[in-house]
């Protein structure tokens, strides 16, 4: 029987994804009724979803076996209490590639001390050191999941020593991995540059605070493309002002867009980027969506299911 896939995301996404998904369903040999609205919610088997899309009440979709998010972060989806169906987050190779570009670029910016040169006044010939060699520096990743591990490998290719910390202990040929409280202290104590790629959950909120900053190396730089609530903002600003931290690149914030009067905008050691570190890419993410639906039709377990207890 023909299965119905409901696509609920902003209209421009529907226009972009519709031909790709239709083509990929055909190639996979699936006979799919792909729609972006329906009067018969009981007929829908799969939902492709962005939280910014029109569907907000999922309670009417009694026969949906999978809600496939187009977003990597699921904190907004998990706040929707009508969404009780199995939920898969987006793990998109295109998004990982973009994130690696962002992270490598900003690691290099901090490593090379670029900010001090861009802030030099005309004629100000800074008596400065040449940057140390990459292999003498350690880049730490808090979060070595789909994005963190991909970025950690990309940073390692630049010659840095790379360490990572996660909830469950990983084993990796390139990245020295840690878990647990001692593992966190270890990563904080050895990192010259720290990259935050964890989800926003009750456990990760304010992970960067006065206590954890005190455990960091003097002069550490922080790059946060993860989520704003990972950082206790007052503690970060205090660390920057005291000289403990050499700089921060912040892509995500508790309130977005970042209000015009937020101190981050004008802090000389902070670079604000407007939540552009990476995004879901059409071609690669469409393939992920179809792969998961193919698995559902074959009776195989879905990929990338969210653990609602863990919050990600």
Kindly state the smallest distance separating residue 165's Cβ from ligand NDP, in Å: 6
Q: Is 135 a residue of the active site?
A: no
Q: Out of 167, 254, 267, 275, which one is annotated catalytic? A: 275
Binding mask 154-183 for ligand NDP (x = CB under 6 A): ------------xxx---------------
Is residue 72 a contact residue for ligand NDP (CB under 6 A)? Answer: yes
Kindly state the smallest distance separating residue 150's Cβ from ligand NDP, in Å: 8
Say if residues 185 and 93 touch (Cβ distance below 8 Å): no
Residue 114's nearest CA partner among 101, 128, 103 is 128
Distance CA 182, CA 10 (A): 44
Distance CA 175, CA 183 (A): 13
Q: Out of 227, 254, 295, 308, which one is annotated catalytic? A: 227
Closer CB to ligand NDP, 44 or 289, in the complex: 289
Choose one: 47-55, 61-69, 146-154, 293-301; the region binding ligand NDP (CB under 6 A): 146-154
Distance CA 22, CA 130 (A): 54
Distance CA 197, CA 225 (A): 6
Distance CA 190, CA 208 (A): 15
Q: What are the start-end ranges of the E strands in 54-192? A: 66-69, 87-88, 138-142, 161-166, 176-179
Choose one: 122-130, 137-145, 233-241, 290-298; the region binding ligand NDP (CB under 6 A): 137-145
DSSP code at position 159: T
Binding mask 90-119 for ligand NDP (x = CB under 6 A): -x---x------------------------
From the centroid of its chain, how far is CA 281?
14
Kindly state the smallest distance separating residue 230's Cβ from ligand NDP, in Å: 9
Q: Is 227 a residue of the active site?
A: yes
Is residue 61 a contact residue for ligand NDP (CB under 6 A)? Answer: no
Kindly state the smallest distance separating residue 179's Cβ from ligand NDP, in Å: 7
Q: With b meaning 16 or more CB within 10 Å and e meaning fewer, what string describes 134-166?
A: beebbbbbbbbbbbbbbbbbbbbeeebbbbbbb
Choose one: 33-41, 47-55, 196-204, 264-272; the region binding ligand NDP (CB under 6 A): 196-204
Cβ partners under 8 Å of residue 190, min gap 6: 138, 140, 163, 217
Which positions lie near ligand NDP, rule CB under 6 A? 72-73, 91, 95, 143-148, 166-168, 197-201, 203-204, 225-227, 251-252, 275, 277-278, 312
Q: Which positions are catalytic? A: 227, 275
């Amino acid at each position: 029987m023909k299965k119905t896939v409901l696509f609920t995301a902003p209209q421009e996404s529907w226009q972009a994804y519709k031909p790709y998904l239709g083509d990929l369903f055909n190639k996979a040999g699936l006979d799919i009724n792909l729609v972006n609205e329906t009067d018969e919610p009981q007929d829908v088997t799969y939902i492709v979803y962005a939280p910014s899309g029109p569907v907000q009440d999922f309670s009417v979709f009694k026969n949906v076996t999978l809600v496939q998010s187009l977003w990597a972060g699921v904190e907004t989806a998990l706040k929707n209490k009508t969404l009780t169906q199995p939920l898969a987050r987006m793990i998109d190779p295109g998004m990982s590639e973009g994130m690696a570009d962002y992270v490598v670029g900003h690691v290099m910016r901090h490593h090379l001390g670029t900010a001090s040169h861009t802030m030099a006044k005309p004629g100000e010939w800074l008596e400065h050191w040449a940057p140390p060699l990459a292999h003498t520096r350690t880049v730490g990743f808090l979060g070595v999941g789909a994005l963190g591990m991909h970025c950690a490998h990309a940073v390692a290719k630049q010659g840095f020593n790379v360490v990572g910390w996660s909830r469950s202990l990983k084993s990796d040929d390139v990245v020295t991995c840690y878990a647990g409280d001692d593992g966190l202290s270890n990563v904080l104590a050895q990192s010259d540059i720290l990259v935050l790629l964890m989800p926003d959950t009750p456990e990760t909120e304010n992970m960067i605070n006065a206590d954890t900053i005190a455990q960091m190396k003097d002069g550490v730089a922080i790059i946060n493309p993860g989520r704003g609530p990972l950082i206790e903002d007052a503690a970060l600003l205090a660390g920057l002002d005291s000289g403990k931290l050499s700089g921060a690149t912040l892509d995500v914030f508790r309130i977005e867009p970042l209000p015009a009067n937020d101190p981050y905008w004008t802090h000389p050691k902070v670079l604000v980027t407007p939540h552009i570190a990476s995004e879901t890419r059409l071609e690669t993410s469409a393939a992920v969506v179809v792969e998961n639906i193919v698995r559902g039709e074959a009776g195989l377990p879905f990929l990338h299911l969210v653990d609602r207890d863990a919050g990600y």
